[in-house]
Amino acid sequence: MTPKIISVKPVDDYQIEIIYHNKEKRVLNIKPLLKKGKFSELKDKAFFDSARVSFDTIEWPNGIDIDPEDIYKTSLLVENIS
């Protein structure tokens, strides 16, 4: 079962820091998605920075979201938070 996302924070170079309920801090690189359909809208840095947690995933105001399992599988573990 995929851990629940507690918070997201857009950072430099189209990456998002993610905190999960299991105390993992992970980073997701969005750059590979910027070439695909509606994801190209995220090239606008101000729009990219509007990412938020919605249910169990990351979502933007135009309804773009990413499958929670894909987020977890493709993100990199940065640290375990105590």
Can you list the alpha helix ranges (DSSP code H) found in 1-82? 45-48, 68-74
The model's pTM is: 0.92
- CATH code at 25? 3.30.2020.10
**Residues 14-19: contacts with CB within 8 Å, 24+ apart?**
14/42, 14/48, 16/51, 16/58, 17/78, 18/58, 18/71, 18/75, 19/81
- How many domains does the structure of the chain reveal? 1
> What pLDDT digit, counting tens, does each position of 1-34 carry?
899 999 999 999 999 999 999 999 999 999 999 9
Domain boundaries, position 58: 5-80
> What pLDDT digit, counting tens, does each position of 61-74 carry?
999 999 999 999 99
